[in-house]
A and B are shown apart, each in its own frame.
Chain A
Amino acid sequence: MQDFAASFFEAFRLVLGLDPGLIEIVLLSLKVSMTAVFIATIIGLPLGAFLAVTRFPGRGIVIVTVTALMGLPPVVVGLVVYMLLSNAGALGPLQLLYTPTAMIIAQTVLVVPIIAALARQTLEDLNGEYRDQLMLFGLGSLARLRTLLWEGRYSLMTALLAGFGRAVAEVGAVIIVGGNINHVTRVMTTAIALETSKGNLALALGLGLILVIIAFAVNALVFLLRAAAERSAYA
Chain B
Amino acid sequence: MFTSLRCLAVTLTTILFPVATVAAGEFIVLQSTTSTQNSGLYEHLLPGFEKKTGIQVRVVAVGTGQAIKNAGNCDGDLLLVHAKAAEEAFVAEGGGKQRRDVMYNDFVLVGPSADPAEIGGSAQIGDALQRIAHSRAAFASRGDDSGTHKKELALWNGIGVDPQAHSGSWYRETGSGMGATLNVAVGMDAYVLTDRATWISFGNQADHRILVEGDPALFNQYGVVTIDPAHCPNVKEAAAERFVEWLLGPEGQAAIAGFRLDGQQLFHPNAKNGGS
Contacts and interface: CB of A to CB of B under 8 A. Distances in A.
A200 B232 CA distance: 38
A93 B203 contact: no
A198 B38 contact: yes
B60 A98 contact: yes
Interface residues of A, number: 31
A126 interface: no
Contact of A180 (B42, B60, B179, B180): B60
Contacts of B201: 198
Contacts, number: 89
Interface in A184-209: 184, 194, 196-201, 203
A182 B75 CA distance: 17
A99 B5 contact: no
Contacts of A86: 70, 73-75
A31 B13 CA distance: 11
Contacts of A96: 9
Nearest to A203: B203
Contacts of A99: 13
B20 interface: yes
A197 B29 contact: no
B205 interface: yes
Interface string B184-212: 00000000000000000111110000000
Contact of A98 (B12, B58, B203): B58
A101 interface: yes
Interface in A9-23: none
B34 interface: yes
Contact of B183 (A94, A199, A203): A199
Contacts of B72: 88
B177 interface: yes
Nearest to A101: B13
B205 A199 contact: yes
Contact of A196 (B17, B42, B183, B232): B183
A5 B177 CA distance: 27
A31 B202 CA distance: 31
B224 interface: no
B203 A200 contact: yes
Contact of A101 (B9, B38, B75): B9
A100 B37 CA distance: 20
A196 B179 contact: yes
B134 interface: no
Contacts of B177: 197
A145 interface: no
17 contacts: A31-B17, A86-B70, A86-B73, A89-B73, A93-B2, A98-B29, A100-B16, A179-B60, A182-B42, A194-B37, A194-B38, A196-B180, A197-B177, A197-B178, A199-B179, A199-B183, A200-B203
Interface of A: 31, 35, 86-89, 91-101, 104, 179-182, 184, 194, 196-201, 203
Given A86-B75, A203-B203, 10 more contacts: A31-B16, A94-B9, A100-B16, A101-B9, A179-B58, A182-B43, A197-B38, A198-B203, A199-B205, A201-B204
